[in-house]
Structure 1
Amino acid sequence: MFHKESSLSHPANRNRVDAFVSGVAAESVAVASAQRKTFLAQRSGSSLVVNTMTGNPAYLEGKLSMTMTGTATDASRSFLMENPGILGLSAEDTEELTEVDSFKWGGLKFIRRQQNHQGLPVFGASVLVGVDDKNQVRIVTSGLRSQISVKPGETAISLKEARQIARKDLGEAVELRGGITHKTVLYPTQQGHVRVYHLTVPAETPLGDWEYFIDVQNGEIVDSYNSMKFHSFYFAPRARVYSENPEETPLTTVMLRDVKSPYNKLDGRYCKVINEDAPGAVVGSNYRFDFPPEDTHFDECQVYYAVEKVYQYFLDLGFRGFTVNNPYGKVNSGQLAANVHTGTKYDNAYYSSSTGQIYFGDGSYPGNPGGLRDLAKEFDVVAHEFTHAVIDEYHPAMFGSEGAALHEGYADYFACSLLNDPDLGEYVVPAPEKAGMIRNCDNDLKYSETSTESHDRGQAWAGACWHLRKKLGQEVADFLIFGSMLVLGTTSPTFKYAKDMLLAVDQSWCGGEYKATIQRIFETERGIPV
């Protein structure tokens, strides 16, 4: 989501898991073990950083194995089977690690495995293993849990009853915009893991992708929160668009690349635009989408242009496309769907994980002096929501208040880095009624100075990333920051964990050249925990 939305204050936003994943109500676990010291001593130059809340490694990097036989998948599995104790698991635990994803980046093949216990997925617990072209394991990032205990008891609540409980909790006015999906998982609590129905409820009112975790034994809502993230050469048709926004750049004629033959609709290789107010735009006889800014079809052209540019930007960083976890992209060859004119005078933009699509409201200004202008006309708003979709492609259902804040911080940073402009939302926020922008990445906010609200806390992460960019340049910073997002080994990352992943990427790909700079900016200047 682009900025704060009233539905975020809905009572269904419990987010109780925060205390568990961030250790607010837990004691720290002692770190060192003789087994891990021996492991590192046998692998000169390797390093291991432990998550002090779980006692298990957050990451290992270096030459972690000799050349192994078989495929990269085989090598990753062999490594895990041979070193369960290093990762805080038993041999039986490793048998229940199931492959759920794989991708290539930075010269490595990454394989992600989900942790299961007694046949059920452990929510938020996975391990990511990176294997080089010699079939040697070079990096492991992990969110695995040790000694999982599950409350005994039989299932007493049916799935139908669980759906009714969730709908009732959302209120009598709830309106769905899609079917409720479900799976049974083990969910972490301070008392151990609980067997729950994990329901995803895509609602129009209150707007959100509501995640519910309902105890299968007694129907208790263990937790719930809103996972919606609000905020080649050939012939090509042309359109008039703003390269950034109506206030800062004039209308210019651009080619709309990758439009599918016969090139007459805004349906392309990377993007399909949906107009919620009217049938889609049709090209003119001169193969131009010529619409004035006040025409309903102008926003379609503007968003198509922006999505195509942002998609290419991320592809250049190593993005695999929306092919595995994005519900829309995986059945549409990696294409992203973008919706314009969402709602009625709606003052927001958002990414919906349940549909895999991005959405842009028209705003309520000037009729509402406190409202926003048309969000589809601001390039960085499109880039911000696109980034949420990128993160979700690799880390679906990333949760916790710090996970949500990192979602926003990464989205702010990449939207601004692409345009080489630290200001976000200058056009959509009318001045002088408001401050003239939504947020600014070129800030000095410390971690401790922010609230737990995701957009507020995310500014500290975006600010640290932007200052790293100022110090190292865009190319190096984008590589490190994108890599740190990619190799997150848990779906409940803290700022400390993400910062450690940044250091891990620097160590593995840059030989630790930027370690001191990263530590100074993220730890000393921003106060992100060491």
Structure 2
Amino acid sequence: MISIKNCFYILTSIFLLSACSPSGDIVRFRLNSTDPKDLNDQQLEQLNLALVTEKSGAHAKSVDLKTKSIKRWQQTINGIPVANSYVHLIQKNGTIESATGQLFQTMDQKTQSRLDKITRLVPELIEHAKRRNSEINNAKKLYPPEIELVEDMMGLTPVLVLKYVKQDESDVMAMHLSDSGYVLSHNSIGYHLVNGVATVFTNSPARSDLAEVVLRQLLGDGTLTSSRLKVRSALSAVKSPTNEFKFATTEPSFNEVQTYFFMNRTLDWFGTEYGINLPFQLDVKTHVGGHTPSNVAFYYDGNIRLGDGDNSVYKDIPRDPTIVAHEVAHAYIDVLSGLPSQGEGGSMNEGFADFFAANMLNTPRMGEFSYLKRDFKRTLDNNLLAFKDFNGGKYHDSTIVSGTLWEIRNALGPNATGHLAIDTLTNLGPGGQFVDFAPSMLKAVEAGHSAAEVLAVRRVLQKRGWIQ
């Protein structure tokens, strides 16, 4: 059960934010923690409004992880789903820990009038579409028509959505019509799971040769897209009608394919080793910066962006599995704990991301292939001490966290330490600080590990300065 009081608070905050939204029409929000005791009278008065958003939500989905659950739904206004709207909640033990979302203001009278009009005209619009498009007229199956509110330059506009299965059952299509019968869009919405073939490095180019590999469960539209992962380019996008992605290493498209391979491998690893799957599709863009050299590599809210390197500090960033796996790991950290990107929580976020990449690839060196200034950018194989060696630098301090995890890995092994890291993350939560690291880890190891493992972890934490 979701803590309704917390849910009220989150959604009440959304309504309060609406008043100061720059556009006045759309509200994007991210709340990393909630505290109902801070509600004032005005906020309490809006709780009933907030409840409507959840109770009337469309396409509700929930995912249960090991220690947390995720709930998501789409906003409706007067019973009509709003395209591209959502509320995404992460909860633990029935209490909401964080929320993100995108909501739209209530539609105006003009939109309501257009909604009334398109509702009356549904039969005529369907017949009009059939006359103009033989594919709909001959469809194997025509789904019940839907009305949806879509954002445009004027605010929210109602459109009629016709979904159908092609006569030969080769695809599922969606046509969006205006209230005048104009076709706004006409696209495939089916998931075509096919296997593609690619030529990639199976590890760092310094440690592996080029090999032909199978890219499993692509959607089949000729792009590097699956239900879990979408990789696109800031330059010309890779498109292969035959789903063969074989390029020379000198071609820009090679790095796009290499990115997909490393990221897909990381997603597989988290699913196989720990039974965790992301509740969203990763949206990845490569060649960021276009033809201008860029050292970009970051994750934010389900999005990953990678440059190719400026050949001065970094080269061929997508070919370095430690960098690619590190960015994917941030998505799991986001889901499991909600740790921030800055401050002490940001350092722990980076430390855990380094550890997961190192644990998967069995190397303590981050950036070993792409970083050009020395043999590697960071290493987990270090002897830095908590609190004594902290200097406030996000990445410097992160190596104290990752170094501790790496030493524990040497004592417990990769699998046990990976599970321990995941449980520690969930215990830390969004507000985790350095002082919370050891207690969160001890709570995790004492709950699910042997006495010998508990002792080994305590020894490392003590050696590393986390506990006395």
Letter in 1 for 2:281: Q
Structure 2 CA distance for partners of 1:247 and 1:284, relative to 1, 3 Å: farther
Conserved 8 A contact 2:223-2:239: yes
Letter in 1 for 2:465: G
* Superposed CA offset, 1:70-109 (max 9, x none): xx658999xxxxxxxxxxxx99789999999985344x56
1:312 maps to what in 2? 268
Conserved 8 A contact 2:68-2:92: no
Query: Among residues 191, 197, 202, which one is paired with 1:243 in the alignment?
Result: 202
How far apart are the structure 2 equivalents of 1:470 and 1:298? 35
1:521 maps to what in 2? 460
Map residues 6-405 of structure 1 onto 2, 5 A cutoff.
104-106=64-66, 128-129=92-93, 236-262=195-221, 264-278=222-236, 280-283=237-240, 285=242, 287-318=243-274, 320-323=276-279, 334-343=280-289, 344-353=292-301, 356-365=302-311, 368=312, 371-396=313-338, 398=340, 401-405=343-347
Conserved 8 A contact 1:398-1:404: yes
Structure 2 CA distance for partners of 1:444 and 1:313, relative to 1, 3 Å: same
* Superposed CA offset, 1:5-49 (max 9, x none): xxxxxxxxxxxxxxxxxxxxxxxxxxxxxxxxxxxxxxxxxxxxx
Letter in 1 for 2:389: E
* Superposed CA offset, 1:406-431 (max 9, x none): 0110010000110111111111112x
How far apart are the structure 1 equivalents of 2:467 and 2:377? 27
Secondary structure of the corresponding residue to residue 458 of structure 1 = helix
1:443 maps to what in 2? 382
Conserved 8 A contact 2:229-2:281: yes
* Superposed CA offset, 1:161-184 (max 9, x none): xxxxxxxxxxxxxxxxxxxxxxxx
Secondary structure of the corresponding residue to residue 376 of structure 2 = coil
Q: 1:319 Cα shift?
A: 5.9
* Superposed CA offset, 1:127-182 (max 9, x none): 8438xxxxxxxxx9999xxxxxxxxxxxxxxxxxxxxxxxxxxxxxxxxxxxxxxx
Q: 1:459 Cα shift?
A: 0.2
Conserved 8 A contact 2:293-2:307: yes
Q: 1:303 Cα shift?
A: 0.7
Conserved 8 A contact 1:439-1:459: yes
How far apart are the structure 2 equivalents of 1:499 and 1:317? 24
Gaps (5+ residues) in structure 2? 7-34, 55-60, 72-89, 99-192
Q: 1:322 Cα shift?
A: 3.6
Structure 2 CA distance for partners of 1:508 and 1:277, relative to 1, 3 Å: same
How far apart are the structure 2 equivalents of 1:394 and 1:419? 21
Q: 1:340 Cα shift?
A: 0.7
1:479 maps to what in 2? 419
Letter in 2 for 1:418: M
Structure 2 CA distance for partners of 1:392 and 1:109, relative to 1, 3 Å: closer
Rg (Cα) greater in structure: 2
TM-score scaled to structure 1, two decimals? 0.53
Conserved 8 A contact 1:317-1:482: no
1:463 maps to what in 2? 403
Moved over 4 A (4+): 72-77, 90-103, 108-112, 140-143, 317-320
Structure 2 CA distance for partners of 1:288 and 1:518, relative to 1, 3 Å: same
TM-score scaled to structure 2, two decimals? 0.59
Q: 1:529 Cα shift?
A: 4.5
How far apart are the structure 1 equivalents of 2:260 and 2:203? 13
* Superposed CA offset, 1:189-212 (max 9, x none): xxxxxxxxxxxxxxxxxxxxxxxx
How far apart are the structure 2 equivalents of 1:487 and 1:102? 21
Higher relative contact order (CA 8 A, sep 6+): 1
Q: 1:255 Cα shift?
A: 0.7
How far apart are the structure 1 equivalents of 2:438 and 2:269? 23
Structure 2 CA distance for partners of 1:520 and 1:141, relative to 1, 3 Å: farther
Gaps (5+ residues) in structure 1? 1-71, 78-89, 113-125, 131-139, 144-233, 324-333
Conserved 8 A contact 1:128-1:487: no
2:362 maps to what in 1? 420
How far apart are the structure 2 equivalents of 1:274 and 1:105? 29
Letter in 1 for 2:459: R
How far apart are the structure 2 equivalents of 1:392 and 1:496? 20
* Superposed CA offset, 1:246-272 (max 9, x none): 22211111111121125x221112211
Q: 1:450 Cα shift?
A: 3.2
Aligned CA-pair RMSD = 3.6
